[in-house]
Amino acid sequence: MKRALLEVPAPELAEWMVARGFPGFHARQVFRWVFQRRVEQFAHMSDLPKALREQLDAEWGVFGTEVAYHHVAPDGTDKLLLGCADGRRIECVLMAEGDRRTVCISTQVGCGMGCVFCASGLKGVERNLTRGEMVEQVVRLRNLLPPDETITNLVVMGMGESLANLDNLVAALDRICSPEGLGLGQRRVTISTVGLPEKMMVLAGLGRQYHLAVSLHAPTEALRNELVPINEKVGLGAVMDAADAYFRNSGRQVTFEYVMLRGINDRIEDAQALANLLEARKAHVNLIPYNPVETLPYERPFPSTIQKFVSIVRARGISVSVRKTKGREIDAACGQLRRRFEDRPVVAIS
Ligand code: SAH
C-alpha cells in the first residue's frame, strides 16, 4: 500500500529521496506543490525530475484518504466525507461567511464521550485520526476554494474529542500553521473540547496561541452529569479550574459552548445559574441551538426562549453570541453525515 505524504515531515521524505539517489531538497518542493500550489498529483510537479515523480507515484499518495462524498448545501457550505485507508469514514466542512473561510475538522472516528444529544458518540470511538488525516481534511477543503481565496479560520469541532487525540492534533495544527504548510495563524484556530482538565493543562503548557472552546452545555453538576456523562468522572469544578488556568497561561479568553435543548437546559433558571457560574470570569458564551439528530428525542428551543436566555445572561455583563446554523441541509452537525452513509457503499467521486 502507498504511504500518505502528509503523514511525514519534510526531513523524512528527504531521507527517502536520498536513499533512492535523489537530492533531499526536492522534499521541500513536493510540499510546496501540495500546500502552496494546490497540486494533488506528483505528475504535475513540473520542477521535479521525471524519474523522481515516477518513483514518488509508485510509493506515495499525495493523499491517504479518498473523497467518498462531496455535497454543497444551498448556502454554499461544502461537506466532505472522506474514506480512510482502513475504510473508515470521517467528515469535514468548509463554511463561507463574509471574508471568512472556515474549516471544521474531525479528530477521531466516532467519539468516546457519549454526550447524550450528539450523533458522533452513538457508537463510541473507533480510533484516533492520524496527523496526516487531519491535515488532509484542511488541504482538501482549501483546494475547493477559488485560487484567490484561502482558509482564514479553523475550528476543531467535527467528530471526536479533540483533546483525547492531543498529540496528533497538535502535530497536525503545527503543520497547518507553519509557513511551509498553510501559514494559518494560531490565533485563528479554535479547539473545542468536552473539557478534559488534565489535557487542557497540557495544552496550556505548550505555549500555543490556540483559542479554546469548552463544551459546557449545563451550568450545574447534576444537569451536566446528565447531558455530558464524562462529567461524572471529571466534575464541573475541575473543568472550570482548567479553563481558568488556560486563560492565565495563554492570555486567551475561553469560550463556553452551550448547546440549547428545548425544555432541558434552556429554562430561565438555567440562564441564571449559567450567569452565576461565569459572572466573575472573563468568558464568552456561545449558544448553539440544537441541530436535531434522527432517533434522538431532543429539540431546538423556540426562538423566543433563546432570546430570553440571551438577555438574562447578557444582563449580568457576560458576552454572549448565538451560533448561526450552517449547512443544516447536508447534516453538517458532527457525525451526522457519516451516520447517514453508514451501511451504504459510497461511490468515490474525487
Ligand atoms: N468533542 C468536542 C468537539 C465536539 S463538536 C467537544 O465536545 O467540544 C463541537 C460542538 O458541537 C460541541 O459543543 C458539541 O457538544 C456540539 N454538538 C454536538 N452535537 C450537536 C448537535 N446535534 N447540535 C448542536 N451542537 C452539537
Q: What is the pLDDT of residue 326?
A: 67
* DSSP letter (8 states) at residue 328: G
pTM score, two decimals? 0.94
d(CA 164, CA 199): 8
CA of 158 from ligand 1 middle (Å) equals 8
Q: What is the pLDDT of residue 332?
A: 55
Can you state the angle between helices 268-278 and 303-314, rounded to 10 degrees?
30
Report the SS3 class of residue 243: helix
d(CA 171, CA 206): 12
Which grid cell sits at 15? Answer: 531521507
Q: What is the pLDDT of residue 328?
A: 59
**How does DSSP assign 141-207, residue by residue?**
HHTTS-TT----EEEE-SSS-GGGGHHHHHHHHHHHHSTTTT---GGGEEEEES--HHHHHHHHHTT
Residue nearest ligand 1's atom 16 by CA:
259
Is 92 in contact with 105 (CB distance < 8 Å)? yes
pLDDT tens digit string along 90-132?
A: 999 999 999 999 999 999 999 999 999 999 999 999 999 999 9
Q: What is the pLDDT of residue 241?
A: 97
Q: Which atom of ligand 1 is nearest to the CA of 118?
A: 19
Q: What is the pLDDT of residue 325?
A: 73
Q: What contacts 195, CB < 8 A, 6 or more positions away?
A: 214, 215, 216, 228, 230, 231, 234, 239, 242, 243
d(CA 149, CA 182): 12
Length of the chain: 350
Q: What is the pLDDT of residue 350?
A: 32
User: Across the chain, where does the E strand assignment appear?
Assistant: 3-4, 60-61, 66-72, 78-83, 89-97, 100-104, 108-110, 125-128, 153-156, 189-193, 211-215, 254-260, 283-289, 319-322
Is the beta carbon of 165 within 6 A of some atom in ligand 1? Answer: no
Is 181 in contact with 171 (CB distance < 8 Å)? no
CA of 137 from ligand 1 middle (Å) equals 18
d(CA 68, CA 148): 26
CA of 67 from ligand 1 middle (Å) equals 24
Is the beta carbon of 333 within 6 A of some atom in ligand 1? Answer: yes
Q: Which mean pLDDT values do the consecutive 10-residue runs of the chain (350 residues) have?
A: 96 98 98 98 98 98 96 92 96 95 97 96 96 98 97 97 98 98 97 98 95 98 98 98 95 96 98 97 93 94 97 97 73 59 45
d(CA 61, CA 57): 7
Q: Which atom of ligand 1 is nearest to the CA of 293?
A: 22
Is the beta carbon of 115 within 6 A of some atom in ligand 1? Answer: yes
Q: What is the pLDDT of residue 349?
A: 38
Q: What is the pLDDT of residue 334?
A: 55
Tell me which residues are annotated as active site: 91, 334
Is the beta carbon of 290 within 6 A of some atom in ligand 1? Answer: yes
d(CA 49, CA 15): 17
Is the beta carbon of 118 within 6 A of some atom in ligand 1? Answer: yes
Report the SS3 class of residue 3: strand
d(CA 158, CA 93): 8
CA of 157 from ligand 1 middle (Å) equals 7
**Closest Cα to residue 45, out of 22, 12, 21?**
22
Which of 227, 228, 288 has the most ligand 1 atoms within 8 A of CB, as the residue to mutate?
288
